[in-house]
Structure 1
Amino acid sequence: MNENIIAFILSVLAGLVSGWLVWIFRYVIGNRKHLLITIKAMRLWNTEIRVSISYLFRIRVSGKYMLVKGNRIDQYQPVGGVFKMLPSFKDIKHNYEITDDDRLPIDETSKDDLRIRVQGKHLVKLLSWFYTRKNREVGVHREFYEEMIKTGILEIDSLRSFTPEYCKTVNTNIHYSKHFKCKEILIYEIYELDLTEQEEKRIVEYVRDNSNKAILASQDDICKECIDLDGSSKKIGEHAKHIL
């Protein structure tokens, strides 16, 4: 083969490789805040990843943590829930090729939950969007009302003085879910409630009379993911450890 042709082919290949490397470099630098996730997401470019973004409340009473019975899963878990998408999220959902996660039944309660599926190539963009706080629910009072006020654990006055303090954001990174049999990433925003003596008293009384609906669990119980109630072992959700 003519040396000039070989040189030309090598030059073209070198240009393609260098261009590809430059693109990777720019992609990684542009998403350096999520560097580890970015690298994993690149490897899962066309793979669907389950994403769930929630908020949880750390409610401490007498050195223990209040947990409530889950509606969907038979376990005790922190008060809280999944953030909601707003109608303005429609275009983003289309552009990022997002689909609803139907592994859990979707009803009026779970409709528009940020419990979704997205391909790896869009994951970092989705996370960056979430932190802009646009097109989504930003308050955390909805689940507090549903699980603490509406149930009668606390009175409506507690909602008026509701001032949760942000503690941290937990990111589980991309991992394989044995339960859902797919790749997933879970994100939790943790908030702490500053209770009055009266509110603590009401919680203690409610738990005492309704242990089938709510409990006060120790740190050890949460780490073990179970608690003994009247001689029977009851499950505590794995994600409860994030409120510790």
Structure 2
Amino acid sequence: MKKSITVLLAVISASVLFAVSYKNNTYQKLANEYTKKAQNALDAGDYVLAEDYAKKAEENAALSQAYIQKMLAKSEADSVMKNASKRLDYAKSINADKNFPMAYSAAQKAYASADDAYKTEDYTTAAAYAKQVLEALADIKEITPLPQYYIVRPWEETKDCYWNISGRPYVYNNPLLWENLYQANKSNMPKPSDPNLIMPGMKMEIPSLTGEYREGVYSPSKKYDGYSAVNAEK
């Protein structure tokens, strides 16, 4: 019995000695205390008491390990959730909710799930959801919103007509979609029944076709991503 108790105490001592220490790890403290008591009882020849203390030390050492694993998981969750929160704030600041709505929505849902898991102390799940936030927002970038309006210029300068305007990357990137422009603007034309009659200076509305975010008036000094690129994730 003495030999088995000695071996058990050696194993417990090693596990406690090399465990990560936390100030409020009561189990680790109890494991240390029971280990010392077991050793003292063993030295005094009271093997029954030594065995009892050794078992209590073993139980608390196991609880200590579980507690440590939980705290390590919490530490990881804290770190990943902090990064996820920062990424969400950045995404909001560059209008990702408007320019990348699917990715932003997925990230919001993942963060809400992470927060719920964290509140129930399921730190492993919380960290996993927080990582999904980072994955969802990995490819977002700051972009100039597509224009909502276009000021018609003289034909001799830019060959402006519904067909040509519709084909420009910052409009629809496809001349075949010109009727969308015509239907949205014909009430402002001098002869609504004639789509060819658009006048220089006319403020043409560019309606959203697929929910893409648009704002402001087209400016040749701005660099716009093409319509298809902006809507690739939608």
Relative to the length of structure 2, the TM-score reads 0.29
Which structure dedicates a bigger proportion of its chain to strand?
1
Task: Tell which structure's C-alpha radius of gyration is larger.
Answer: 2
Which structure dedicates a bigger proportion of its chain to helix?
2
